[in-house]
């Protein structure tokens, strides 16, 4: 994390740069813009490399020395398609730009910034917010908003404690619920933990109307916890899903998170649609509505060309494999939990009595009640059931589930084989059925094998769940 501090210092020491320019990505226009402050010229690019001059810009209340060359500038779109706000990273400077009149104006009176590098910025009810960030030797959890009538920033005072840090994690504003979600945040303070950074795996929601924070749970999803984040990687948010890429061995992997249903999906880019390198600049990869846009380098003769690709997040999610919950929910009310458990025990006792003591099938109650299976094996069966209609799970997904994807290919194959073999033996003890988990050639590549429950055993498991199975798809962890 100290590299983040060095990055911020470089931004501030770049005041003396010869050619100062303001550069931003306008997601709605799917283009990158830049204004040379000295020449007052606006340029536009659809690929960040080839630029088209648009015209002369009128500058108002702008000092060249205040514009930091290379600083990340966030573009916030408004209801007026010709009007945007531009927020310069690490400074709290606020500009407004009109595409029609080509007027660039600085509207804030910020005297000093430096604490909000890589903060999460958004507009709520026509008010600009900046949440968290890094600066002054530490990450922070500040929730500040821009007061247009005073041209200054102010901070929200919560009724309870906020997460300790909000920085480069899963963060985004939810318009539908008027709330802010955040989790998987880095924490760094030179005066704590010997100056070493660590990740807060909590997942939180701030409700504006209540002015309170709620901890929804702890992120225990193995694939996410084991993911080594690149130093400036983005976790994209489109208002419904968090989306980000990881590269594992030979393929790009796309992780799609539905925080509302608490579901995580894993998609493997076997067609190699994406570039191997994961961009560290937002203008090279971003989301807008249902689309994920990314650039890929193609070699043409002696030159490299960049082409923009776009995929539907919803369609990709349908093809992806469900791998479990994002977080394990926390129950903050002990007595309600106790009452719920008591009622649950009474209901379960009633159901068991009526269903099993009047029959001779008590031995074959749901496999979850079997002592033969450990928790990992039970979870494996649940995930296989969840993905049955999608053709099961690939070898890579089994390895990720077992947390062995850091081992070499031969060791992974051996460990997968031993795990499935042991699971099949235990299921045979319970159901007297051979090869409950089958190993079949992949439909896309016959050299690769997928793992799927046998149709007959799947029907038995489904029958045992009965009414509970109808809710199973949305509740499996």
Question: Is 241 part of a structural domain of the chain?
Answer: no
Q: What is the DSSP string of 297-326?
A: EEEETTEEEEEEEEEEHHHHHHHSEEEE-S
385 and 457: one domain? yes
Cα dist from 440 to 405, 437, 447, whole Å: 20, 10, 10
Question: Is 127 part of a structural domain of the chain?
Answer: no
pLDDT at 391: 85
386 and 424: one domain? yes
Question: Is 232 part of a structural domain of the chain?
Answer: no
372 and 470: one domain? yes
| Angle CA 336–339–341, to nearest 5 | 110
Surface-to-core class of residue 105, CB atoms within 10 Å of its CB (0-12 exposed, 13-18 middle, 19+ buried): middle
Q: Tokens at residue 202, please? A: 């909590």
Question: Is 7 part of a structural domain of the chain?
Answer: yes
262: left (phi over 0), alpha (psi -120 to 50) or beta: left
Q: What is the DSSP string of 122-153?
A: EEETTEEEEEEEEETTEEEEEEEEEETTTTEE
Q: Are 85 and 73 in contact (CB under 8 A)?
A: no
d(CA 426, CA 24): 58
pLDDT at 462: 79
pLDDT at 366: 47
15 and 49: one domain? yes
List of long-range contacts for 466-473, beta carbons under 8 Å, 24+ apart: 472/382, 472/385, 472/386, 473/386
Q: Domain total for the chain? A: 3
Domain that holds residue 42: 1-108
User: pLDDT of 265-305, one tens digit each?
Assistant: 999 999 989 988 888 889 999 999 999 999 887 766 677 77
Of 477, 394, 385, which is closest to residue 436 (Cα–Cα)?
Answer: 385
Q: Tokens at residue 173, please? A: 């504003």
Q: Are 67 and 20 in contact (CB under 8 A)?
A: yes
14 and 60: one domain? yes
Instruction: Single out the residue in 87, 108, 129 at which a domain terminates.
Output: 108
435 and 339: one domain? no
User: pLDDT of 305-349, one tens digit each?
Assistant: 778 899 999 999 999 999 999 999 876 555 566 677 778 787 777
pLDDT at 375: 83
Question: Is 421 part of a structural domain of the chain?
Answer: yes
pLDDT at 465: 63
pLDDT at 348: 76
Quick one: how far is CA 165 from the chain centroid?
A: 17
Question: Is 292 part of a structural domain of the chain?
Answer: no
Q: Tokens at residue 214, please? A: 């709620």
343 and 370: one domain? no
pLDDT at 359: 43
Question: Is 395 part of a structural domain of the chain?
Answer: yes
pLDDT at 471: 47
454 and 375: one domain? yes
Of 35, 80, 75, which is closest to residue 58 (Cα–Cα)?
Answer: 35
pLDDT at 134: 93
pLDDT at 373: 80
Q: Which residues pair with 172 in a beta bridge?
A: 181
A 10 A CB-CB count for 207 gives: 14
pLDDT of the chain, 477 residues: tens digit per residue: 445 544 454 444 443 444 689 999 999 999 999 999 999 999 999 988 889 999 999 999 999 988 988 889 999 999 999 999 999 999 989 999 999 999 999 999 987 667 889 999 999 999 999 999 999 899 999 999 999 999 999 999 999 999 999 999 999 999 999 999 999 999 999 999 999 999 999 999 999 999 999 999 999 999 899 877 666 788 999 999 999 998 877 888 999 999 999 999 999 999 989 988 888 889 999 999 999 999 887 766 677 777 889 999 999 999 999 999 999 987 655 556 667 777 878 777 767 766 655 443 433 334 555 557 888 888 888 888 888 888 888 888 888 888 888 888 878 888 888 898 888 888 888 888 888 898 888 777 777 788 899 888 888 887 776 544 444 444 444
Question: Is 217 part of a structural domain of the chain?
Answer: no
């Amino acid at each position: 994390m100290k590299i983040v501090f060095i990055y911020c210092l470089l931004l501030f020491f770049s005041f003396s740069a010869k050619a100062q320019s303001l550069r931003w990505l306008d997601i709605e226009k799917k283009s990158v813009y830049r204004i040379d402050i000295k020449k007052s010229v606006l340029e536009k690019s659809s690929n960040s490399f080839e630029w088209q001059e648009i015209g002369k810009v009128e500058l108002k209340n702008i000092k060249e020395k205040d514009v930091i060359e290379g600083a990340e500038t966030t573009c916030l779109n408004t209801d007026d398609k010709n009007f945007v706000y531009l927020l310069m990273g690490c400074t709290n400077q606020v500009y407004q730009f009109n595409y029609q009149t080509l007027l660039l104006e600085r509207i804030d009176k910020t005297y000093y910034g430096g604490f909000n590098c890589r903060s999460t910025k958004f507009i709520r009810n026509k008010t600009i917010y900046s949440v968290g960030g890094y600066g002054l030797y530490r990450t922070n959890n500040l929730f500040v908003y821009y007061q247009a009538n005073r041209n200054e920033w102010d901070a929200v005072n919560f009724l309870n404690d906020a997460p300790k840090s909000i920085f480069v994690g899963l963060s985004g504003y939810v318009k539908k619920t008027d709330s802010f979600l955040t989790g998987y945040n880095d924490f760094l303070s030179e005066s704590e933990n010997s100056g070493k950074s660590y990740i807060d795996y909590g997942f939180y929601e701030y409700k504006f109307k209540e002015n309170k924070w709620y901890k929804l749970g702890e992120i225990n999803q193995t694939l996410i916890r084991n993911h080594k984040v690149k130093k400036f990687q983005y976790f994209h948010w489109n208002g419904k899903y968090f989306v980000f890429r990881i590269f594992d061995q030979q393929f790009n992997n796309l992780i799609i998170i539905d925080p509302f249903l608490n579901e995580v999906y894993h998609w493997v880019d076997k067609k190699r649609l994406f570039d191997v390198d994961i961009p560290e600049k937002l203008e090279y990869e971003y989301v807008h509505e249902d689309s994920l846009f990314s650039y890929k380098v193609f070699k043409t003769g002696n030159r490299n060309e960049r082409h923009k690709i776009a995929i539907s997040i919803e369609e990709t999610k349908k093809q992806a494999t469900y791998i479990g919950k994002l977080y394990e929910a926390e129950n903050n009310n002990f007595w309600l939990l106790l009452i719920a458990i008591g009622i649950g025990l009474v209901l379960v006792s009633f159901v068991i009595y009526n269903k099993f003591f009047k029959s001779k099938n008590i031995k074959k109650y749901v496999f979850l009640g079997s002592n033969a299976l450990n928790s990992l094996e039970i979870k494996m069966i649940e995930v296989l059931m969840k993905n049955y209609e999608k053709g099961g799970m690939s070898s890579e997904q089994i390895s990720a589930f077992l947390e062995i994807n850091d081992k070499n290919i031969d060791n992974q194959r051996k460990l997968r084989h031993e795990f499935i073999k042991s699971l099949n033996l235990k299921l045979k003890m319970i159901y007297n059925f051979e090869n409950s988990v089958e190993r079949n050639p992949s439909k896309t590549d016959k050299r690769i094998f997928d793992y799927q429950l046998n149709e007959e055993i799947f029907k038995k498991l489904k029958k045992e769940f009965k009414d509970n199975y109808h809710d199973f798809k949305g509740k499996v962890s």
